[in-house]
Structure 1
Amino acid sequence: MQKLTVGIEKAATILKLLGDKTRLAMMKMLETHDYCVCEFVEIFKMSQPAISQHIRKLKDAGLVQETRRGQWIIYSLNKDNDYYPLVHSLLQHLPSQDFKLQELEEQGLRISCD
């Protein structure tokens, strides 16, 4: 990973964006798995429009990218983003959120978006 100096304004914008606990949890989850909106709806017990707004903000900042698989849109971390090293560094200090996906699977609510 190359060393990049992040401007104060941009760093503040990204940190403000990640200051929301739902978006921060989403980013930590996306570190290990790709997700579709429908899975986040089940995990966070939020409406689809609310989840879509969180995703849109992350996508607008370039932190998240989307890939279409048939009718589904799958979201993943954008590791090519100039600010990924900053985000990656922050995420390393957070506990794994994989248990949320495991709970979804145990409840039979894991949605296969293939």
Structure 2
Amino acid sequence: MEQLNEIAEKLKLLGDKTRLTMLTLLKDREWCVCDFVDLFDMSQPAISQHLRKLKSQGIVNETRRGQWVYYSLNVDDKPYIKTVLDQMPETDTLLATLNKRTNTTCD
């Protein structure tokens, strides 16, 4: 029963469109918080809050490089999340839908 609760909590996070989009983008590469701020036109604290929730459930990893924090996907041991992400559009399609490019803004 514990495993069921754990999986339900992780899948609940995917019910948010912003977090699901973030995870879909992370399928191809790591992203910096500042990239997500630009991409989603959201404040840095709001983006950080989404990523904090994903990190707390072990769905993303974070790496600090200087003043920037980069996030990468951590779902190798979560096949149920991988299955959901496999059904999502490709990065280029998703970025086109968001009317954005893949340029990074963090330096």
Name the TM-score, length of structure 2 as normaliser.
0.83
Which structure has the larger Rg over C-alpha atoms? 1
Contact 1:25 1:97 in 2 (8 A): no
CA deviation map 1:67-88 (0-9, x unaligned): 12222211101145x3x22211
CA deviation map 1:17-71 (0-9, x unaligned): 1100000000010010111111001111111110000000000000000112222
Pairwise CA RMSD of aligned residues? 2.1
Structure 2 match to 1:67:
63
Question: Does residue 51 of the first structure (1) align with residue 39 of the second (2)?
Answer: no
Question: Does residue 36 of the first structure (1) align with residue 32 of the second (2)?
Answer: yes
Aligned residues: 103
Structure 1 alignment gaps of length 5 or more: 1-5
Name the TM-score, length of structure 1 as normaliser.
0.79
What SS does the aligned partner of 1:19 have? coil
Contact 1:33 1:76 in 2 (8 A): yes
Aligned-partner Cα distance in 2 for 1:79–1:18: 13
Amino acid at match of 1:104: R
Structure 1 moving runs of 4+ over 4 Å: none
Aligned residues with identical type, % of pairs: 50
